[in-house]
Structure 1
Amino acid sequence: MLSFDAIVVGAGFAGINQLYQLRQLGLSVKLFEKAPDVGGVWYWNQWPNATSDTPSEVYRYSWDKEDLLTYPWPTHVLPQKETRAYMNHVVERHNLRQHMQFSSELKSATFDKSDSTWTVLLSTGETFKATYLILATGRFNKTVWPSIPGQEKFAGKQYHTGIWPENRDLKGKRVGIVGTGSSGAAILVGLAKEAKQLVSFQRSAQYVIPNNKDLVSAEYRDKVNKNYEDVFRKVRRCGIGSGFDPVSADYTTFSVSAEEREKVFEAAWNSVWGLAFTFYTFSDIMTNEAANRELCQFLRKKIAQIVQDPEKREKLMPPAEALYDKRPVCSSGYYEAFNQENVDVVNFKKTPLVEITEKGIQTTENLYELDVIIYATGYESDGTWADINITGPQGTTLGEHWAEGSTSYLGILKAGFPNLFFVIGPQSSLANIPSHSEFHAEMIGKLISKAETMKKEKSSASGNKTVLPKSGRHALWFMGGYDKYIDKVQEAVDTYRGFVFAY
């Protein structure tokens, strides 16, 4: 059985980060990925118009300035193909592919107390051993399929945006999209010119903000290159890890005139960053209801200006009481798409869903005959950690430990599972994923580096014990802000606060 110092699971942002970091330490490392190639969630999300809402200049997960400076970012936000192209650029430039094995899903991992190693079993039937096991499987991999009466009767095709690894020709098809989150809004725009008929089935209307897909100018790129370190310093000090300058606390919605407020909102609507309304307008947008409603009024006015058909406009308009308080949905051209005759919207609150029939989706008013149903219904935010049969030294599984909810120490470790690490595990900061995974890879690398220097004492790192609440309720995310989270994790890594060394 082959043995390695470390095994990394997952070849998305996090896994590539971690492989690079551990190779820099001189460790023998093997990365396993269930997909046929690199990409993680961006391998499986190959649906039309799949786009990141992260500004291209905050991608840096190779820790090499030349990767960013030499890669020709085409647009301010990147389509799926460009995101994967950059991942491949990093993998090839640093010769990482030789340490990767694809089409190999982790099925189980067991800790052997006799030699303090993990034995992993893959879907290929192969087994390997390693001192350190790092799960870089991510949050976005376990798709949520809604349970709708009659799904099994539908005669056409049914797809999920989270499992779309190849081109699917939907030209001339009658397509229904269930869901209006980020993927639902984006794929609608991607299919609007392609489908014969396109119907968006929504439970509730969303405020959808355009994200700027304009080409990156030479001047803008030169500015980023010259201020590279400042860009990433701001990313690390930003509450969501996206490089926003903090808005002054006294710059509130009603501290300026109505005219100035309109200019600020208009600038955010046309910003490079689709998240600008939440984090780059006024300091009280998410804390003052009156301020939030002022923003909603602006957004409702935009919808009314863009959507021409009054019936579609009514269905697309969030109710008057709805605040702008959900995860921001970003997609350029979303409202404009409904001005096409072949694009329609059904609001289940106005015309409730009855069932799926052999022919399509039946509501209380109509049967929408379809060739394809696409479920844009997202992922289970707990990821797949507990679904993998991971058994600790006491013979209990990770799933058993998490029966009342997933918990970890700093989003990186779990008590009772020595030398098992998560990249962006439970209670991590709610932040930009590329930035967050880079930081976690650095911290895990530092922990392993220190542990390697202590090998003579046969030490292993393990997180402190977390008592699960009897109610089963628990916080899945650290909500204090990415910048505060970084400070706490850095402090723990530097001082080993909360860790136990055992042998």
Structure 2
Amino acid sequence: MNTPLATARPSAAQNTQRYDAVIIGAGIGGLYQLYRLREAGLKVLAIDAGSGVGGTWYWNRYPGARVDSPSHVYQYWFSEELNNAWNWSERFPAQPETERYLNFVADRFALRKDIQFSTRVLACDFDETQERWQITTDKGITLNAKYLISCAGTLSTPLKNLFVGEKSFKGEVYHTARWPKEPVDFTGKRVGVVGTGATGIQVVQTIAPQVNALTVFQRTAPYTIPMRNQRYTDADRAALKARFHEIKALARNSFVGFDFDFTYGAFYDATPEARRAILEMLWNDGSLALWAGSYGELFVDEGVNNEVSAFVREKMAARIKDPALIKKLVPTDYGFGTRRVPLDTGYLETFLRPNVEIVDIKAAPIERIVENGVQTADGKIHEQDALILATGFDASTGALTQIDIRGRDQQLLRDEWAHDLRTTLGLMVHKFPNLFLTAAPLSPGAALCNAPTCLQHQVEWITDCIDFLEKNQRAVIEPTLAQQDRWVAHHDEMAATSLVAKTRSWYTGANVDGKPKRLLAYAGGVNVYREHCDAVAAQGYAEFRIN
């Protein structure tokens, strides 16, 4: 795994600060967790490595960065007044607008005063004598807290140093997940983009008209749906705001946390003509509804998946027309929806431009970076003035495995997860008392969920659990090994039915060398997951060890 074996710590803390709870991260989840725990009367501090709030939307400011969840579900649900006070400008907002929204939330609820910015957590040790967490930061400060909550995010730890010779390159190098705040001008330059996932797609389609020459290094061709964005009018916004409670309920009770679900009946109950009509309608909607709002069998039935995949391939091929490009850009080696499905704005058509070239690095992998470009295994050197690395993340686990987190008996979470990815409900881990997780392995939020939907649900569960402990004057909660084993077994049972688990992707950890291979996200659906979590709370957390 691309994580350090040990994390350096300051030799001595300058001082110690005491809190009821410490939160790692000030993105969508961290801001809401801070708000909820403060409302519950706790003394709370959130810590973030960035100089401002936003999490993903603070760091990911690369050219073309844009949400591919509709803005009316990519938001908070805890305050209708907040919803009414903010006006989204379009259906799929660009990064600056999403970042402004999160800053608006932080200002409206005065959250900044309880956030320590530009600070990294180095180590978290559970003191079994005190039954409290000791958190060490790179500022030489030790924080003492009863509860430790990770809101560090699913896609927050970029994969770096993947290629031999990166430091030898004489040109500019950028990683999409650590893009500079200052504008970057690629005018007249030869630019290489490594990676064609959702991020790579947005970068490629955005910078192609600016550059002299664009070389796209692709290992796996993505299925992609043309985004149908729209600017909102006052009437559009008023109509959506009037449906606040309806949309909230739909999102929280759907399969992947959107306001659409599998509402068209069983696939084979419809005639081929009727099925085609549904697929056409959802394709024309220009959203992720074709993926997560068409037919549930898409995820579990190879026959259904083959038919839908053929439909999408046909649509993609019609956009390109060039047989050579179709062979390169239209995937045939895996099924639609079993890997991350991006939305695009003219991505496929970008390759019809004379200044754009695609390089198949599955056929001839990148061998090394040299001082003037990229050398592939066929011996060719692709000369570049700048490189953009859209090479992905150590999803769901990376943010925590880069920190020394030690629970009971000095158990190191990094070691635990290097052996096997195991959690209880994706919310807690055996041997790590009072450590709560969001977007962690074995929950929908790890990959298969509209992020704000799942993050808010998990924050609410965590807050209710802490409130239960405080009201009952309990010090510690920890999942038992037997309880965790049952959840892992249930997770694996759901995964075994899913075609997603059978496809190599970051969804299964296949993009990180040495990472245990298990479907990161719970595949039973957001609605079913919520029922499991609610049942645990309703039983008074009976299966947990509570002191």
TM-score normalised per structure 1: 0.92
- Percent identity over the alignment is 31
Q: How does 1:270-285 map to 2 (within 5 A)?
A: 270-273=284-287, 275-285=288-298
Residue 253 of structure 1: how far off its partner (Å)? 6.1
Q: Distance in 2 between matches of 1:285 and 1:390?
A: 39
The amino acid that maps onto 2:546 is F
Q: Distance in 2 between matches of 1:369 and 1:230?
A: 54
- Equivalent residue number for residue 316 of structure 2: 303
Q: Is the 8 A contact 1:140 1:380 kept in 2?
A: yes
- Equivalent residue number for residue 352 of structure 2: 339
- Equivalent residue number for residue 528 of structure 2: 484
Query: Which piece of structure 1 moves more, 186-195 or 17-26?
Result: 186-195
Cα 1:60–1:154, aligned 2, differ >3 Å: closer, same or farther?
closer
- Equivalent residue number for residue 280 of structure 2: 266
For residue 198 of structure 1, give the secondary structure of its aligned residue in structure 2. Answer: strand
Q: Distance in 2 between matches of 1:223 and 1:47?
A: 32
Cα 1:397–1:288, aligned 2, differ >3 Å: closer, same or farther?
closer
Cα 1:162–1:110, aligned 2, differ >3 Å: closer, same or farther?
same
Q: Distance in 2 between matches of 1:101 and 1:126?
A: 11
Following TM superposition, where does structure 1 have runs of at least 4 consecutive aligned residues deviating by more than 6 angstroms?
Answer: none
Q: Is the 8 A contact 2:74 2:451 kept in 1?
A: no
For residue 419 of structure 2, give the secondary structure of its aligned residue in structure 1. Answer: coil
Cα 1:288–1:475, aligned 2, differ >3 Å: closer, same or farther?
closer
Cα 1:248–1:271, aligned 2, differ >3 Å: closer, same or farther?
closer
Q: Distance in 1 between matches of 2:519 and 2:316?
A: 35
Residue 19 of structure 1: how far off its partner (Å)? 0.3
Q: Is the 8 A contact 2:262 2:295 kept in 1?
A: no
Q: Distance in 2 between matches of 1:158 and 1:80?
A: 21
The amino acid that maps onto 2:538 is D
For residue 51 of structure 1, give the secondary structure of its aligned residue in structure 2. Answer: coil
The counterpart of 1:197, out of the listed 213, 228, 242, is 213
The counterpart of 2:400, out of the listed 385, 395, 414, is 385
The amino acid that maps onto 2:453 is S
The amino acid that maps onto 1:435 is T
Q: Is the 8 A contact 1:415 1:463 kept in 2?
A: yes
- Equivalent residue number for residue 435 of structure 1: 453
- Equivalent residue number for residue 39 of structure 1: 54
Q: How does 1:317-328 map to 2 (within 5 A)?
A: 317-319=330-332, 322-324=334-336, 325-328=338-341
Residue 139 of structure 1: how far off its partner (Å)? 1.6
Q: Distance in 2 between matches of 1:414 and 1:287?
A: 29
The counterpart of 1:172, out of the listed 177, 182, 188, is 188
Residue 336 of structure 1: how far off its partner (Å)? 2.0
Residue 353 of structure 1: how far off its partner (Å)? 4.2
Cα 1:306–1:95, aligned 2, differ >3 Å: closer, same or farther?
same
Query: Which piece of structure 1 moves more, 437-446 or 196-205?
Result: 196-205
Cα 1:398–1:322, aligned 2, differ >3 Å: closer, same or farther?
closer
Q: Is the 8 A contact 1:62 1:90 kept in 2?
A: no
The answer on 1:122 being equivalent to 2:137 is: yes
For residue 81 of structure 2, give the secondary structure of its aligned residue in structure 1. Answer: helix
Q: How does 1:347-362 map to 2 (within 5 A)?
A: 347-350=360-363, 353-362=366-375
Q: Distance in 2 between matches of 1:227 and 1:303?
A: 34
The amino acid that maps onto 1:445 is T
For residue 72 of structure 2, give the secondary structure of its aligned residue in structure 1. Answer: helix
Residue 205 of structure 1: how far off its partner (Å)? 1.8
Q: How does 1:78-477 map to 2 (within 5 A)?
A: 78-145=93-160, 147-166=162-181, 167-250=183-266, 252=267, 255-258=270-273, 260-273=274-287, 275-307=288-320, 309-319=322-332, 322-324=334-336, 325-350=338-363, 353-363=366-376, 364=378, 366-381=380-395, 382-429=397-444, 430-455=448-473, 458-465=474-481, 466=484, 474=518, 476-477=520-521
Query: Which piece of structure 1 moves more, 176-185 or 284-293?
Result: 284-293
Residue 244 of structure 1: how far off its partner (Å)? 1.1
Q: Distance in 1 between matches of 2:519 and 2:358?
A: 35
1:31-83 CA-partner distances (Å, limit 9, x unpaired): 11111111111111110111121111113336111111221111111211111
- Equivalent residue number for residue 543 of structure 2: 498
1:304-358 CA-partner distances (Å, limit 9, x unpaired): 3322554333321223x54213221222211122222222212234555444332
For residue 409 of structure 2, give the secondary structure of its aligned residue in structure 1. Answer: coil
Q: Is the 8 A contact 2:124 2:136 kept in 1?
A: yes
For residue 158 of structure 2, give the secondary structure of its aligned residue in structure 1. Answer: coil
Q: Is the 8 A contact 1:12 1:40 kept in 2?
A: yes
For residue 384 of structure 1, give the secondary structure of its aligned residue in structure 2. Answer: helix
Q: Distance in 2 between matches of 1:401 and 1:348?
A: 33
The amino acid that maps onto 1:202 is Q
The amino acid that maps onto 2:98 is T
The amino acid that maps onto 1:304 is A
Residue 493 of structure 1: how far off its partner (Å)? 1.6
The amino acid that maps onto 2:315 is K
Query: Which piece of structure 1 moves more, 35-44 or 112-121?
Result: 112-121
Q: Distance in 2 between matches of 1:112 and 1:286?
A: 44
The amino acid that maps onto 1:362 is Q
For residue 148 of structure 2, give the secondary structure of its aligned residue in structure 1. Answer: strand
The answer on 1:14 being equivalent to 2:34 is: no
Residue 281 of structure 1: how far off its partner (Å)? 2.7
The amino acid that maps onto 2:114 is H
Runs of 5+ unmatched residues, structure 1: none
Q: Is the 8 A contact 1:242 1:432 kept in 2?
A: yes
Runs of 5+ unmatched residues, structure 2: 1-15, 490-514
Query: Which piece of structure 1 moves more, 46-55 or 391-400?
Result: 391-400
Q: Is the 8 A contact 1:491 1:497 kept in 2?
A: no
The amino acid that maps onto 2:480 is N
For residue 131 of structure 1, give the secondary structure of its aligned residue in structure 2. Answer: strand
Query: Which piece of structure 1 moves more, 192-201 or 212-221?
Result: 212-221
TM-score normalised per structure 2: 0.85
